Amino acid sequence: MSAASAARLILKRLHEVMASRAHAQAKLDAVVEIIADSLSSEVCSIYLLREGALELYATRGLNPEAVHVTRLALGEGLTGTIAKNIATLNLAEAAAHPDFQYRPETGEEKFHSFAGVPIVYREKAVGVLCVQHAEPRRYEEVEIEALQTTAMILSELIAHKELVDDTEALAFDKAPTEAEVMEGLTLVKGLAKGRAVFHQPRVEIDQVVAEDIEVERQRVYRAFDKMRDQIDAMGREPEFGKGGEHVEVLETYKMFAYDEGWSRRINEAIDSGLTAEAAIERVQQRTRMRMREIDDPLLADRMHDLEDLANRLLRIVSGQMSTAATQGLRRDTILFARNLGPAELLEYDRRRLKGVVLEEGSLTAHVVIVARAMGVPVVGRLPGILARVSEGDEILVDADRGFVTLRPSQTHHDAFESRFVRNREKQAAYAKLRDVEPFTRDGTRITVMMNAGLRDDMSMLQVTGADGVGLFRTEFQFLVSATLPQRERQMRLYRDVLDAADGKKVIFRTVDIGGDKAVPYLNSDIGERDENPAMGWRALRLALERDGLLKVQARALLEAAAGRDLSVMFPMVSEPWEFDAARAIFEEQAAMLKTRGKLAPESIEYGCMLEVPALAETLDLLLPRVSFISVGTNDLTQFLFAADRANPKLAARYDWLSPAILRFLARVSGALVGSNVRLGVCGEMGGRRLEALALLGLGYRRLSITPTSVGQIKELIRKIDLDEITAQMQAWLFSPPPDMRAALEQWAAARDIDID
């Protein structure tokens, strides 16, 4: 008999028992009879985890007096070992196993062979199902398989109170309650508390036993087809075409998605009478069990991918496709995800989203930039955290130190609250600087602007007292739209932004899509061509070729700024002619507006980002053409170090305070001395205190930073003597200390400058 038919037989008879009107214990007694019969076993017993111990709930073959009397701790005896390790045992001679423990009240001494499988509910052992035999023999693989399938069904039946009345005392649904502190990588600083919400909610399996096997089989076939289509489409998305880890993940996805073995096992599980959902989960459970026995980090990574894929398949088959954003947040939320795209994050309600915890993530990934702009703390690089947290768990995020506390105790709360209060005091102190102009101690006015990307961000101009917007990322509107924003819509946004700025300068950067800023409606254009989108057809390169896009944006900007000053900045300029070409498009549009008699901007100035190292080599050619240059340290760093900014494996590898970057930046600022081109920095680097200190020492006098950093950077500026830090940086660049970060920290500490 095959495993499937053995299980199907058991299932069929279980069905009859479930349909009967017998009370719970009688049903459970009937269940052990059925299993023992079907597997020709002399004993069949069910142990359930109750109040921390495995209690014998039903048996055929052992002494009935032992029911509800025999109790074993987790890890105690064979049964306790199975539950503790969530692993199957199959023994010809039970007594020979080192964990065997004799329990006289059960009368089990006459039985030699033993096989037991864990009863698992939501990845935790909640009981054990075992069979015993007088003759010493190992159970066959088909019997073990049938036992495992039966155990899964039992777990669902018990959880739904169909076999045990009082499930309250059992371990079902009892997610871990104990506190756990995990340390990850700070991606956006800050403190937050709230309840855990999964970006992709877990699929709840309502029905385990199939009514019509053929229907279930078709459902799984269709889901596989859809999943394979999705995976193939992913390969065309820029996010996945970028080399490194993403490609590895995609390759693994593909391998599993097309793996005959996986789909066959799911089919077999359906044969045994399970619904499509239960069959996917059953196979996943078995894989998890196998993997637990293998201690190999590489395989564990693969397992992670398979889990992802199995979840995807479950979501497709059950139709539960929505994310938590579509369902709406109902309370203060800490969002959990393996990773997120910037557009996905922007879908969340800003008022409720308090923090984000990612299994992956890196410092300059756009999702992190968006979170920073939203003022949402993020901790990343926490592999495995999704399995340790349950939806609704209370969470404390201390992103200042990279800690995430799951289900905090009172002590955790107290410690958190005192940090929270201290943080608030600091914020209040920064807020007082709102109207204070940031002069250094020796009297130089530093320009502190903020970065923005959405209409909502503009209120931060008032809140922070920033000097203006030094980088308005116009692509954010493209990222949050389902379709390409038309000119009128673009124009309205730009006009509102200028209105909100109320005369302060706003530098609009033309669209920078591509790289990790994937736009679904342009994907077919962007994704298919690029092996490595960060260095690919993105930003100005794309905009110059699809000049319709840039023309429309130029018109929208020019119209929005009618009668006012307009500042335009081009991203990813690698050679001066690209700047000329982009500017020409704007001038052509401006001329056209004029011929149509429309009101033009009062003034237009053009500048460009310096984020491609090559541009630094032609500064002498560029300077006569531009009004300002803004160094984009996020991209600059990735290109200088050849290190993908979105790759979590490289997230902590290269430091902005490394001599290579600092010398590069010093060279650029040196090249601008004496010119009247304004020079600034608009990458994330400028919003961090130590980095800002270094930049000031390198001659940078204009910073455009994330709004939440404005207060602290103003405070820093007021404590600095520019001559002193300039001399120090010159000395360090000439002969770098072994640890530039530590040296700067000491320098700041000696002057009582807060760098935390």
User: Which of 602, 597, 595, 596 is CA-nearest to residue 562?
Assistant: 602
Q: Which of 341, 632, 697, 699 binds Mg ion (CB under 5 A)?
A: 632
**What's the rounded Cα separation, in Å, for the pair 439 and 457?**
25
Based on CB atoms, which residue is closest to ligand PEP, 453 or 485? 453
Instruction: For residue 125, give both structure tokens.
Output: 């052992």
Based on CB atoms, which residue is closest to ligand PEP, 408 or 515? 515
Q: Of these partners, Mg ion, ligand PEP, none, which one is at the site of residue 633 (CB under 5 to 8 Å by kind)?
A: ligand PEP
Residue 415 in 3-state DSSP?
helix
Based on CB atoms, which residue is closest to ligand PEP, 194 or 342? 342
Q: What are phi and psi of 570, to 5 degrees?
A: -105, 135
| Nearest distance from C-beta of residue 694 to Mg ion, angstroms | 20
- The residue number with the shortest CB distance to ligand PEP is 632
Q: Of these partners, ligand PEP, Mg ion, none, which one is at the site of residue 533 (CB under 5 to 8 Å by kind)?
A: none
- Alpha carbon of residue 63 to chain centroid: 52
Based on CB atoms, which residue is closest to ligand PEP, 14 or 682? 682
Based on CB atoms, which residue is closest to Mg ion, 270 or 479? 479
Quick check: 475 binds Mg ion (CB under 5 A)?
no
| Nearest distance from C-beta of residue 632 to ligand PEP, angstroms | 3
Q: Of these partners, Mg ion, ligand PEP, none, which one is at the site of residue 143 (CB under 5 to 8 Å by kind)?
A: none
Based on CB atoms, which residue is closest to Mg ion, 506 or 609? 609
| Nearest distance from C-beta of residue 552 to Mg ion, angstroms | 22
Residue 419 in 3-state DSSP?
helix
Based on CB atoms, which residue is closest to ligand PEP, 571 or 697? 571
Bridge partners of 680, per DSSP, are 630
| Nearest distance from C-beta of residue 490 to ligand PEP, angstroms | 18
* Among the residue ranges 93-101, 327-335, 478-486, 635-643, the one whose residues contact Mg ion (CB under 5 A): 635-643
Q: Of these partners, ligand PEP, Mg ion, none, which one is at the site of residue 467 (CB under 5 to 8 Å by kind)?
A: none
| Nearest distance from C-beta of residue 604 to ligand PEP, angstroms | 22
| Nearest distance from C-beta of residue 186 to Mg ion, angstroms | 21
Torsion of CA 358, 361, 362, 365, to 10 degrees: -110
Distances in Å between the Cα of 697 and the Cα atoms of 437, 670, 712, 718, 743 are 19, 12, 17, 14, 14
Based on CB atoms, which residue is closest to ligand PEP, 79 or 633? 633
Based on CB atoms, which residue is closest to Mg ion, 43 or 609? 609
| Nearest distance from C-beta of residue 571 to ligand PEP, angstroms | 7
| Nearest distance from C-beta of residue 286 to Mg ion, angstroms | 46
| Nearest distance from C-beta of residue 312 to Mg ion, angstroms | 31
Q: For the chain, how long is the longest CA-to-CA vector?
A: 103
Q: Count of residues binding Mg ion (CB under 5 A)? A: 3
State the sign of the Cα–Cα–Cα–Cα dihedral 708, 710, 716, 719. Answer: negative
Q: Are 174 and 187 in contact (CB under 8 A)?
A: no
Q: Of these partners, ligand PEP, Mg ion, none, which one is at the site of residue 127 (CB under 5 to 8 Å by kind)?
A: none
- The residue number with the shortest CB distance to Mg ion is 635
Q: Of these partners, Mg ion, ligand PEP, none, which one is at the site of residue 41 (CB under 5 to 8 Å by kind)?
A: none
| Nearest distance from C-beta of residue 447 to ligand PEP, angstroms | 16
Based on CB atoms, which residue is closest to Mg ion, 457 or 635? 635
Q: Are 440 and 721 in contact (CB under 8 A)?
A: yes
State the sign of the Cα–Cα–Cα–Cα dihedral 552, 557, 559, 560. Answer: positive
User: Which of 534, 508, 514 is CA-nearest to residue 526?
Assistant: 514
| Nearest distance from C-beta of residue 571 to Mg ion, angstroms | 6
**What's the rounded Cα separation, in Å, for the pair 224 and 229?**
9
Q: Of these partners, ligand PEP, Mg ion, none, which one is at the site of residue 698 (CB under 5 to 8 Å by kind)?
A: none
Based on CB atoms, which residue is closest to Mg ion, 80 or 632? 632
Based on CB atoms, which residue is closest to Mg ion, 570 or 732? 570
Q: Are 286 and 148 in contact (CB under 8 A)?
A: yes
Q: Are 119 and 130 in contact (CB under 8 A)?
A: no
Based on CB atoms, which residue is closest to ligand PEP, 238 or 632? 632
Pairing, β 89-91 against β 113-121:
antiparallel
Q: Of these partners, Mg ion, ligand PEP, none, which one is at the site of residue 112 (CB under 5 to 8 Å by kind)?
A: none
Bridge partners of 452, per DSSP, are 472
Interface positions with ligand PEP (CB under 6 A): 369, 471, 473, 512, 611, 632-635, 682-683
Q: Of these partners, Mg ion, ligand PEP, none, which one is at the site of residue 683 (CB under 5 to 8 Å by kind)?
A: ligand PEP
| Nearest distance from C-beta of residue 682 to ligand PEP, angstroms | 5
Q: Of these partners, Mg ion, ligand PEP, none, which one is at the site of residue 691 (CB under 5 to 8 Å by kind)?
A: none
- 664 CB neighbour count, 10 Å cutoff: 19
Q: Are 396 and 412 in contact (CB under 8 A)?
A: yes
Q: From its phi and psi, is residue 563 left (phi > 0), alpha (psi between -120 and 50) or beta?
A: left
| Nearest distance from C-beta of residue 592 to ligand PEP, angstroms | 29
User: Which of 699, 747, 738, 741 is CA-nearest to residue 719?
Assistant: 747
User: Among all chains, which residue has been given the structure tokens 């692509």?
Assistant: 475
User: Which of 258, 261, 237 is CA-nearest to residue 247?
Assistant: 237
Q: Are 145 and 3 in contact (CB under 8 A)?
A: yes
Q: Which of 611, 644, 691, 715 binds Mg ion (CB under 5 A)?
A: 611
User: Which of 577, 591, 707, 571 is CA-nearest to residue 632?
Assistant: 571
Q: Are 725 and 697 in contact (CB under 8 A)?
A: yes
Q: Which of 635, 644, 691, 715 binds Mg ion (CB under 5 A)?
A: 635
Based on CB atoms, which residue is closest to ligand PEP, 355 or 687? 687
Quick check: 55 binds Mg ion (CB under 5 A)?
no
Q: Of these partners, ligand PEP, Mg ion, none, which one is at the site of residue 369 (CB under 5 to 8 Å by kind)?
A: ligand PEP
* DSSP-assigned states of every residue in 617-678: TTHHHHGGG-SEEEE-HHHHHHHHHT--TT-GGGTTTS-TTSHHHHHHHHHHHHHHTTS--E
Q: Of these partners, Mg ion, ligand PEP, none, which one is at the site of residue 473 (CB under 5 to 8 Å by kind)?
A: ligand PEP
- 568 CB neighbour count, 10 Å cutoff: 24
| Nearest distance from C-beta of residue 539 to ligand PEP, angstroms | 8
Binding site for Mg ion (CB under 5 A): 611, 632, 635
